[in-house]
């Protein structure tokens, strides 16, 4: 798995002759697994065409804050939410000045103000401009705001000057974007995550299941791995590929999932129960396919073991984080689960909606523990996964 697998990178291309290198930057980001969308400023469009960037990124290029169609759905907010990181390459002196003064004068500067993700800038300009007090002061302002500077290189410039201010090599830019997702916050920690849907057979061909795809659990796993943790995944039925850096164990029924978790729980520092586990299993699994009789069919179901609750009751219990999948009385039900299961925190999500919860690429959750709650607004499961892991790290480690 590459350093930018599943990452959404928003590339801002501003007005510098080095904009002709932007397609190569897109390519290098894609080589590391990123999905790339591009914002082209008016200045950038003087040096590179929208069509080239669209062809390479395989996405529509965004160039207008006042695009009536895009702004119907608040296009600049949508772009800001989509991005896991924003890279401006090349960043012109003018774009750097706009960012430093907090302007929202075009689409790129507005998206930057509306985003909460890491931002990187790779400046490119004439060496005299790069060395000027104005540019230096603006770069220093941006670095105080935790914007990562990818230093310009020294060498011969398009204007014939020799000095600092050339755009860094595309491969180096992509590598530095990859590095911002690596951390050591959870290094040495062991984390077990359950995910996906259990399938409770009623006969050899039929089973009771639910809509879980495994996306939320997989996003949590990616975030833990990025932060340096050793991850074990116990999964039911899933519709996505799992991070190969994790140890994956398939457990399709509630009973098998319980057994796999218990077999692997010792020495784990954190347990995250994200799986949608069936609360009931069929008392008798018919040996042969149940025949249609035209009469009502009554299935007898028995309660399955509550995996999360059992782990919370272990003598040497890890930090236990549960999920609450609710359709009504959301907060009240989630708080009851937090108490009854005895976990350290519970993450509430509403599973009655089509555009979040089950199956969707997005979710919105409330992280609830004994001390209070934090609402995490709707976002991609990847981004939410990172946020949730950050909160768990800050609160419990
Ligand atoms: O997989 P996706 O399509 O991305 O969807 C994500 C999700 C909606 C499945 C996920 O975000 C989620 O809410 N997971 C928990 C689903 C669930 O079973 O919730 P629950 O409220 O019924 O259970 C509460 C907690 O107890 C959960 O942590 C669950 O894993 C755990 N549990 C439940 C029953 C059981 N027998 N054993 C358990 O460990």
Domain ranges across the chain: 8-179, 190-396
Residues 94/64/87/167 CA torsion (nearest 10 deg): -50
Distance from Cα 212 to the centre of ligand 1, integer Å: 9
Instruction: Tell which atom from ligand 1 comes closest to the C-alpha of 337.
Output: 24
Q: Closest Cα to atom 5, ligand 1: which residue?
A: 358
Instruction: For the beta carbon of residue 69, count every other beta carbon within 10 angstroms.
Output: 8
**Statement: the pTM of the whole predicted model exceeds 0.75:** yes
Q: Closest Cα to atom 35, ligand 1: which residue?
A: 306
Distance from Cα 325 to the centre of ligand 1, integer Å: 6
Distance from Cα 397 to the centre of ligand 1, integer Å: 23
Q: Closest Cα to atom 17, ligand 1: which residue?
A: 276
**Cβ(274) – ligand 1 distance below 6 Å:** yes
Instruction: Tell which atom from ligand 1 comes closest to the C-alpha of 324.
Output: 21
Whether 190-396 and 8-179 are alike in CATH topology: the answer is: yes
CATH class of 190-396: alpha beta
Is the sign of the CA dihedral 164, 167, 172, 175 positive or negative?
positive
For 44, which DSSP code?
A: G
In contact, 284 and 307? CB cutoff 8 Å: no
**Cβ(193) – ligand 1 distance below 6 Å:** no
pLDDT of residue 67: 79
For the chain, 397 residues long, give each residue's pLDDT as a single digit of tens: 678 988 999 999 999 999 999 999 999 999 999 999 999 999 999 999 999 999 999 999 999 888 777 776 677 888 999 999 999 999 999 999 999 999 999 999 999 999 999 999 999 999 999 999 999 999 999 999 999 999 988 888 888 888 889 999 999 999 999 999 988 999 999 999 999 999 999 999 999 999 999 999 999 999 999 999 999 999 999 999 999 999 999 999 999 999 999 999 999 999 999 999 999 999 999 999 999 999 999 999 999 999 999 999 999 999 999 999 999 999 999 999 999 999 999 999 999 999 999 999 999 999 999 999 999 999 999 999 999 999 999 999 9
pLDDT of residue 87: 98
**Cβ(273) – ligand 1 distance below 6 Å:** yes
Instruction: Tell which atom from ligand 1 comes closest to the C-alpha of 365.
Output: 11
What are the backbone dihedrals phi and psi of residue 340, each rounded to the nearest 5 degrees, phi first? -65, -35
**256 alpha carbon, distance to own chain's centre:** 29
159 in active site: yes
pLDDT of residue 153: 87
In contact, 233 and 246? CB cutoff 8 Å: yes
Cis peptide before 58 (omega within 30 of 0): no
Q: Which CATH superfamily is domain 8-179 in?
A: Flavin prenyltransferase-like (3.40.50.1950)
pLDDT of residue 149: 97
Of residues 105, 159, 312, 343, which has the active-site annotation?
159
């Amino acid at each position: 798995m590459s350093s930018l697998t599943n990452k959404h990178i928003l590339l801002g291309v501003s007005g510098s002759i080095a904009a002709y290198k932007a397609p190569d930057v897109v390519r290098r980001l894609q080589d590391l697994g990123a999905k790339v969308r591009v914002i082209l400023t008016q200045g950038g469009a003087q040096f590179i065409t929208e069509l080239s960037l669209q062809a390479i990124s395989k996405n529509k290029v965004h160039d207008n804050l006042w695009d009536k169609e895009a702004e119907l759905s608040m296009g600049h907010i949508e772009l800001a939410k989509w991005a896991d990181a924003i890279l401006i390459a090349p960043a012109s002196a003018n774009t750097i000045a706009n960012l430093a003064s907090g302007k929202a004068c075009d689409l790129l500067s507005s998206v930057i103000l509306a985003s909460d993700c890491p931002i990187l800038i790779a400046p490119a300009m004439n060496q005299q401009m790069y060395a000027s007090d104005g540019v230096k002061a603006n770069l220093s302002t941006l670095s105080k705001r935790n914007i990562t500077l990818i230093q310009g290189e020294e060498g011969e410039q398009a204007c014939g000057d020799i000095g600092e201010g050339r755009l860094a090599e595309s491969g180096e830019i992509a590598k530095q974007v990859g590095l911002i997702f690596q951390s050591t916050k959870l290094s040495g920690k062991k984390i077990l995550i359950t995910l996906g849907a259990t399938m409770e057979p009623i006969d050899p061909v039929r089973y009771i299941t639910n809509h879980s795809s495994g996306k939320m659990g997989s996003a949590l796993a990616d975030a833990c791995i990025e932060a340096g943790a050793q991850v074990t995944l116990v999964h039911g039925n899933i519709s996505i590929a799992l991070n190969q850096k994790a140890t994956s164990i398939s457990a399709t029924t509630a009973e098998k999932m319980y057994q796999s978790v218990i077999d692997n729980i010792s020495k784990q520092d954190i347990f995250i129960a994200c799986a949608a586990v069936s609360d009931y299993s069929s008392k008798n699994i018919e040996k042969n396919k149940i025949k249609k009789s035209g009469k009502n069919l009554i299935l007898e179901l028995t309660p399955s073991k509550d995996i999360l609750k059992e782990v919370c009751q272990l003598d040497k219990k890890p930090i236990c984080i549960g999920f609450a999948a609710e359709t009504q009385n959301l907060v009240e039900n989630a708080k009851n689960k937090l108490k009854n299961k005895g976990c350290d925190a519970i993450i509430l999500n509403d599973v009655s909606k089509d555009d979040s919860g089950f199956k969707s690429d997005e979710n919105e959750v409330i992280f609830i523990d004994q001390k209070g709650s934090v609402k995490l607004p709707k976002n991609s499961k990847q981004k939410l996964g990172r946020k949730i892991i950050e909160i768990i790290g800050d609160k419990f480690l």
